[in-house]
Structure 1
């Protein structure tokens, strides 16, 4: 009997030791997996920056040359330049998709909510998508519930979701109609806005619907497929919607069409104090905008990158705009000319610390702290600069539509 008990104790002891060893091995494997994921995310972030920098130059210069070719009606250059521009933007979209996915997986995707007018926002989205619809001879229709009001969420992420869904609808529909409708609805007593994007395109079967939100999944995955893309757009859109407290659902039938429904809370959860601060900041911004409007515009570019200076001059310089470049280490006393600047444009891509120092100096100066500041920066630095009082962040790639949208409110 004693021998049996002793054997049982030995077996239990061995089982306990084996379990502890297995637990230790599992914890070590988990640590290694987290470390490997971190290394992957860091690598993708660094590679994204290194790839975006030359792409930004390629896209900017190609846009300039394409406009010149169209003005002179030079047929030998119009089509090749358009092809370079399309390919560059397609490559940039692939890079952005892969980086977004890595950020979400690593838990590093930050949300930057703000209050904005839904009607104005949707009109901007519609303008961005009209060319996509015309490409396949489609008609884009937008219907908004009256008095729909404002939304408090991450406007950049929401725009990304809607542009991706409308782009897909345009891509898979020919000679049809893409309709986007906006309505208010309550989900579990919480106010939401529902964005419905409906098309009458090729549609999907049940098997395709079941895999729709998987990473790298495409409707047509054959080697000879017609449609470009990584298959990450819908996966990323669903993850972003979930991060904002919302969701994306879909209904589809082959040869009838597809309906996507994006539901986003009217207000992202946060404290009342933060809400009041944001609303106060919004009102202050509006009042400052009114006070800084002038008949003529002096734009001061604080930048050591000659290419970026030339790009900004190309897009912004006109009879009513005067652009003057300064080095990033310029003493702010030089900015106090007889004419008050309309806006400061600071490029943080060359030296982030010097850019932040300049912003802080301008914010503390009594004669210059009311002049709006626009910073050219990376997405991951956006909130840092907004917290410093920057009015707008201009993200890479720098293109004519982005510049026009941001600077239109500062230039008379």
Structure 2
């Protein structure tokens, strides 16, 4: 009878263990990776990982004899029966050089270790040989450590996958709900417009005021639904950019036109400063205008009568080359390829002379549903989604957003976008 020693594997084992820890992989791929690494330490053996399904009536198994394309093998399971049943029931390792007694299989020698996480058995790790081999203390210790590392990785992946599925389910439900709510809201807005136009009869001054207030609230609700729909799509991985060749000055002009009346009503001036002959961008025009609209509107909310909101756009040298993800949608012939141009970015800034943001809030303002105190009106305004959406859109473009603010003097929001064309 041969005695299997693990001493020759110790150094290789220590190099392999960190590779187990990757909860960004799908569960099957994570298990396949663990099986490959363990098999590399025991080249003449068959390595199998079997995971207990939630119902407890079967195991999902993958072994080193399978190909990557084979996927999971589902096998029946009962506590106390067979190797896996015994190991799961007792939560203890099992070694034998006469495996046919247990499972009636062609395998002769095996060592099975429970995969335990916080005393919960989630499956088994098994090494099998066709020859009779006695697993010595070193081999058993090595496999036990491997099982501990595998358990941690598998549990982390399972939790990450469950959380991801829950997030997608919530996002899909929210997306469906907001989509369904838009239809009746459109009808409400339509009838309010008809009422204001006098289709149902003339309105006195008080009635007109009431309907106008109802329409304003309805429009605010519609805007909130649009924000929630956008976030739910992003959470569900369904948000995509519709990139095209655009002129930034036109995008800025359109965003300013939308908010000029609001600025005038509040006694605030909007200024625009753009470098001449501004180069074209390759970006999503609708989303970029949404970024500008939200930033300008944010400035208006925090600025008092007589204040100013200034939008500037320039091209700067950042000293950082564009990442491949930032350039993935670019047509090869349109992207600037020389070394200097790869470090050029668009700097888009919106500056206000408002009440400013306290230092302790300057990172939190980009979180969903966070509302910074607004000294101008005495309370926080909005739903706390505007800046979170801005950050999401800017980062989808491969850019960054930051804020500089001094309480009592105002704030400057800066977006850096790697979207230049030659």
Offset from partner CA, 1:44-80 (integer Å, 9 cap, x none) = 11111101111122223323333449x9673132211
Q: Which residue does 1:341 correspond to in 2?
A: none
Q: 1:18 to 1:205 in 2, by over 3 A?
A: same
Q: Which residue does 1:96 correspond to in 2?
A: 226
Higher helix share: 1
Aligned counterparts of 2:228 and 2:283: Cα–Cα separation in 1: 23
Q: CA deviation at 1:20?
A: 3.0
Asked if residue 215 in structure 1 is aligned to residue 215 in structure 2, the reply is no
Report matched runs for 1:230-269 at 5 Å.
Answer: 230-267=383-420
Aligned length: 264
Q: Which residue does 1:178 correspond to in 2?
A: 309
Asked if residue 162 in structure 1 is aligned to residue 292 in structure 2, the reply is yes
Equivalent position SS for 1:261: strand
- Aligned 8 A contact 1:201 1:257 in 2: yes
Offset from partner CA, 1:109-133 (integer Å, 9 cap, x none) = 1000112333333222111011221
Q: Which residue does 1:122 correspond to in 2?
A: 252
Question: Which among 335, 346, 350 is matched to residue 193 of structure 1?
Answer: 346
Offset from partner CA, 1:236-272 (integer Å, 9 cap, x none) = 201210111222221110110111122223448xxxx
Between 1:178-187 and 1:78-87, the stretch displaced more is 178-187
- Aligned 8 A contact 1:136 1:171 in 2: no
Report matched runs for 1:10-159 at 5 Å.
Answer: 10-68=140-198, 74-159=204-289
In the superposition, the TM-score normalised over structure 1's length comes to: 0.58
- Aligned 8 A contact 1:171 1:227 in 2: no
- Aligned 8 A contact 1:177 1:199 in 2: yes
Q: Which residue does 2:62 correspond to in 1?
A: none
Between 1:11-20 and 1:161-170, the stretch displaced more is 11-20
Q: CA deviation at 1:39?
A: 1.0
Offset from partner CA, 1:196-240 (integer Å, 9 cap, x none) = 211111001211113221222211299x96232221211220121
For structure 1, the residue ranges without an aligned partner over 5 or more in a row are 269-274, 276-412
- Aligned 8 A contact 1:141 1:177 in 2: yes
Q: Which residue does 2:379 correspond to in 1?
A: 226
- Aligned 8 A contact 2:366 2:388 in 1: yes
Q: CA deviation at 1:94?
A: 2.1
- Aligned 8 A contact 1:94 1:229 in 2: no
Q: 1:12 to 1:209 in 2, by over 3 A?
A: same
C-alpha RMSD of the superposition:
2.9
Q: CA deviation at 1:10?
A: 4.4
- Aligned 8 A contact 2:172 2:232 in 1: no
Q: CA deviation at 1:149?
A: 4.3
Report matched runs for 1:250-329 at 5 Å.
Answer: 250-267=403-420
Q: CA deviation at 1:12?
A: 4.1
Q: Which residue does 1:345 correspond to in 2?
A: none
- Aligned 8 A contact 1:199 1:259 in 2: yes
